[in-house]
Structure 1
């Protein structure tokens, strides 16, 4: 099962970074390239513990849906979402936030996923899917950082 670990330093208050990471509206803004839209469950605002969101997006040329639930949350330090329906065999995403000595926030993503289709899925993970997912998450984190540091977060929190 591939695991991606991404660290992003953000110069903004921890509560702001935490809220931006769980903002449905910012998620849609950060995923414009895939035309990602919240179509069921929580469709705007900040997602909370136990809530679900169903996303529709175009990935790798195909429209797909993915439903996730927030399964754990410790504000403003941690939350986890897990796929409950979607194209992956399994997927979970841990979001961790830690204040650094210099005042920056370390935002760490730990993303586990498993492609379907057995050996064919393992080949897809190895050949292109892991790189695709890493770039997708890096772009999202770049936008969270930019919005948090610019002060534009008031539009999303």
Structure 2
């Protein structure tokens, strides 16, 4: 099963980065390139333990839906979202937030995923998804970083 980790340094406190990371509207804005929107469950505001959200997006010219559940939550240290239903055989995304220096945060995303369709899915993982999925997380994290750092004085 493919997995990867993305580490992002954010010059904002862990509580702030944690909260921004759970904001449905921030996620939607970060994924505008794939026309991702929340269409079910919690569709605006911040997610919390047990919440579900159904995302609709367009990837590779195909419209997809995935319902995720916040399955673990310990503010401001970490949360986990997992696919409840959708295109993957498995999707597990752990988000970790550690203090760094003076009011900074090391944000680590650990993702495990598996494509459906047996051997065909494994080929898709190797040829496409192992490169595509980290790029999506990087885009998302840069958006979170920008919001957390740019609006720090607005709080």
Bucket of the pairwise TM-score, normalised by the shorter protein: over 0.9
CA deviation digits over 1:2-31, x for unaligned, max 9?
Answer: 111000000011111001111000000000
Equivalent residue for 2:121? 121
Report whether the alignment pairs 1:3 with 2:3: yes
Separation of aligned partners in 2, 1:72 and 1:3: 19
Matched with 1:42 is 42
Question: Any unmatched runs of 5+ in structure 2?
Answer: none
Contact 1:16 1:153 survives alignment (8 Å): no
TM-score by length of structure 2 reads 0.96
After superposition, where does 1:1-157 map in structure 2 within 5 Å? 1-151=1-151
139-148 vs 101-110, which deviates more?
101-110
Shift of 1:152: 6.9
From the superposition, tell whether residues 32 and 152 of structure 1 become closer, same or farther in structure 2 (CA, over 3 Å): farther
Comparing 96-105 and 123-132, the one that deviates more? 96-105
Residue 61 and residue 92 in structure 1: after superposition, are their counterparts in 2 closer, same or farther (change >3 A)? same
CA deviation digits over 1:97-135, x for unaligned, max 9? 000234320000001100001111111101111111010
CA contact (8 A) 1:24 1:45 kept: yes
> Residues 121 and 31 (structure 1 numbering): CA distance in 2 closer, same or farther, change over 3 Å?
same
Structure 1, unmatched stretches of 5+, are none
Structure 2 counterpart SS, 1:45: coil
For the residues of structure 1 that align with 2:84 and 2:103, how far apart are their CA atoms?
Answer: 36
Aligned residues: 155
Report the secondary structure of 2:132's partner residue.
helix
Deviation digits for residues 23-47 of structure 1 (CA, Å, limit 9, x no counterpart)? 0000000000000000010000000
| C-alpha RMSD of the superposition | 1.5
If the length of structure 1 is used for normalisation, what is the TM-score? 0.95
